[in-house]
């Protein structure tokens, strides 16, 4: 059997997305069919539409989603119909070299659904990050579904599927922020704001938010920043050093993805401190640093892929903290929109006044 559902499709480079009817097959072995309840609009969706990821048009966009499992294929035991799940793009394989050495948050061979979703004329769709959740229903590998407490709001929960998890994980997993640490976060969009929330959860004593937009700094304070720096008016490195006894922060998280801000992160950290790059650069960007400073300042320069998260470990835990009022996921939901408003949400992204627009179905 197949299902005909409405979905947001990007048909060609730079062309506005369109609401289309697509065909979703019933789940085969190892797959799950998920009825989507909410899906956040992420920069990566826009990147796909602009042809910045690859040329495999048409794309089925959307990947920060939560929903309810409608049916599962043969051999699926981890999730069952009726389960409330967050979708992830790290369904670990258990067999690659990362998984075998017990570091499955790096899994190099993650799973997606084997069967293809298609347009009505049979054209195969490429789902964004192997998910494709701006749709009434989507087909994924069962391992891409992580069961969480169903009392959580779907709009808030879905955000853990990508950007918010990347930010929280950059602080708690990659940066290994600990009790009493000083942390600076450069760039306080959805990802950076989540890093601030993560640093707080981990017990950081000082959390310095840096952005060039005062609106983002105001949200950062709401999520627990103890200090804010507008780096349009002030030198970010000097300001961070001044706020940390002249030394720099123990952990600096770069959540912009640019060489200038990476350099700020590099120099704003204390000796032997940690820099975490979670912002995603573009191919033409280059970084130049005195190698002597790389050696002389010591410590760790790390990248954070998807917050080094392990969905089965991190999603249920973070949803529990959310339900206990200790993690304000609702603060990331700037607006809820309908399925046919994704293009408008892309425009709003450029104005910088949203952390996340979330499609609610
Ligand atoms: N200095 C400080 N902040 C900056 C600078 C700068 N030079 N340039 C931009 N910013 C701020 C913006 O004002 C904005 O608040 O960085 C933030 C970026 O946030 P968003 O555009 O909302 O992006 P976000 O979803 O948070 O993602 C950030 O992480 O996952 C990656 O691809 C994503 O590279 C992007 C980054
Ligand atoms: Zn693996
Ligand atoms: Zn994303």
Ligand nearest to the CA of 94: 2
Q: What pLDDT score was predicted for residue 352?
A: 86
Mean pLDDT of 26-45: 97
Sorted by sequence, the CB contacts under 8 Å of residue 140 that are 6+ apart come out as 31, 32, 34, 87, 91, 112, 113, 130, 131
With a 6 Å cutoff on the Cβ, whether 132 touches ligand 1 is: no
Compute, in angstroms, the gap from residue 38 CA to the centroid of ligand 3: 14
Fold of 2-161+328-360: Quinone Oxidoreductase; Chain A, domain 1 (3.90.180)
Please state, in angstroms and rounded to a whole number, the distance separating the CA atoms of residues 216 and 207. Answer: 14
Residue 43, ligand 1, Cβ within 6 A:
yes
The pairing of beta strand 59-60 with beta strand 126-127: parallel
Distance CA 354, CA 150 (A): 26
Q: 357 CB under 6 A from ligand 1? A: no
Six token digits for residue 95: 């067999």
What are the structural domain ranges in the chain? Answer: 2-161+328-360, 170-304
- What pLDDT digit, counting tens, does each position of 152-180 carry? 999 999 999 999 999 999 999 999 999 99
- How many A from CA of 191 to the centre of ligand 3? 9
Distance CA 92, CA 100 (A): 11
CA-based torsion, 76, 80, 81, 84: positive or negative: negative
Quick one: which of 220, 208, 200, 197 has its CA closest to 247? Answer: 208
Rounded to the nearest 10 degrees, how much is the dihedral formed by the CA atoms of 8, 12, 14, 19?
Answer: -20
Ligand 1 near 307 CB (within 6 A):
no
Residue 246's CB is within 10 A of a number of other CB atoms, namely 9
163 in contact with ligand 1, CB cutoff 6 A: yes
Residue 201's nearest CA partner among 236, 164, 228 is 164
Nearest to 154 by CA among 89, 90, 84: 84
Give residue-wise pLDDT tens across range 175-219.
999 999 999 999 999 999 999 999 999 999 999 999 999 999 999
Which tokens sit at 285?
């960007």
Which residue puts its alpha carbon closest to atom 27 of ligand 1? 191
> What mean pLDDT is reported for the chain?
97
Rounded to whole angstroms, the Cα distance separating 87 from 78 reads 13
The pLDDT value given to residue 133: 98
C-alpha 111 to ligand 2 mean position (Å): 9
pTM of the entire structure?
Answer: 0.97
- Ligand 1 probe mutation, 229, 256, 257, most atoms within 8 A of CB: 256
- pLDDT for 42 equals 95
Burial 66-79 (b: 16+ CB within 10 A, else e): bbbbbbbbeebeeb
Q: Separation of 78 CA from ligand 3 center, angstroms?
A: 24
| Average pLDDT estimate for 223-241 | 97
Residue 350 has pLDDT above 90, yes or no: no
**What is the 8-class DSSP label of residue 61?**
-
* Residue listed under structure tokens 């009790």: 179
**% pLDDT > 90, the chain:** 97
Please provide residue 172's backbone torsions phi and psi, each rounded to the nearest 5 degrees: -85, -30
Size of the chain in residues: 361
- CATH number for the domain formed by residue range(s) 170-304: 3.40.50.720
Of residues 37, 94, 24, 22, the one with CA closest to residue 67: 37
The dihedrals phi and psi of 117, each to the nearest 5 degrees, come to -85, 150
Q: Tell me if 210 CB under 6 Å of ligand 1.
A: yes
Q: For 245-301, what is each residue's pLDDT tens digit? A: 999 999 999 999 999 999 999 999 999 999 999 999 998 999 999 999 999 999 999
Question: What is the whole-number distance in angstroms between the Cα of residue 195 and the centre of ligand 3?
Answer: 15
Whether cis (ω within 30° of 0) applies to the bond prior to 58 is: yes
Q: How many CB atoms lie within 10 A of CB 302?
A: 17
């Amino acid at each position: 059997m197949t299902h005909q559902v409405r979905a947001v499709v990007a048909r060609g480079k730079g062309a506005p997305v369109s609401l289309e009817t697509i065909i979703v097959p019933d789940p085969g072995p190892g797959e799950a069919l998920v009825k989507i309840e909410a899906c956040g609009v992420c920069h990566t969706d826009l990147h796909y539409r602009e042809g910045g990821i690859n040329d495999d048009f048409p794309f089925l966009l959307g990947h920060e989603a939560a929903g309810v499992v409608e049916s599962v294929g043969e051999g699926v035991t981890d999730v069952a119909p009726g389960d409330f799940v967050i979708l992830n793009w790290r369904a670990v394989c258990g067999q690659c070299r990362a998984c075998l050495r017990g570091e499955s948050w790096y899994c190099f061979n993650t799973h997606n659904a084997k069967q293809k979703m298609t347009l009505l004329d049979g054209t195969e769709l490429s789902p964004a990050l192997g998910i494709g959740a701006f749709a009434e229903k989507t087909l994924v590998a069962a391992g891409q579904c992580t069961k969480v407490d169903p009392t959580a709001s779907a709009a808030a929960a879905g955000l853990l599927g990508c950007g918010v998890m990347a930010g929280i994980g950059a602080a708690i997993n990659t940066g290994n922020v600990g009790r009493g640490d000083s942390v600076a976060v450069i760039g306080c969009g959805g990802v950076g704001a989540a890093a601030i929330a993560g640093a707080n959860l981990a017990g950081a004593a000082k959390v310095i938010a840096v952005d060039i937009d005062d609106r983002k700094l105001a949200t950062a304070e709401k999520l627990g920043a103890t200090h804010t720096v507008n780096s349009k008016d002030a030198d970010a490195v000097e300001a961070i050093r001044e706020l940390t006894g002249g030394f720099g922060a123990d952990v600096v998280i770069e959540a912009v993805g640019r060489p200038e801000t990476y350099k700020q992160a590099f120099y704003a950290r204390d000796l032997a401190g940690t820099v975490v790059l979670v912002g995603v650069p573009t191919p033409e960007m280059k970084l130049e640093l005195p190698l002597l400073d790389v050696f002389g300042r010591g410590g760790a320069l790390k990248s954070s892929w998807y917050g080094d998260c392990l969905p089965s470990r991190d999603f249920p835990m973070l949803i529990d903290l959310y339900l206990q009022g200790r993690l304000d996921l609702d603060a990331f939901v700037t607006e809820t929109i309908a399925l046919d408003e994704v293009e408008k949400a892309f425009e709003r992204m450029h104005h910088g006044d949203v952390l996340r627009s979330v499609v609610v179905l």
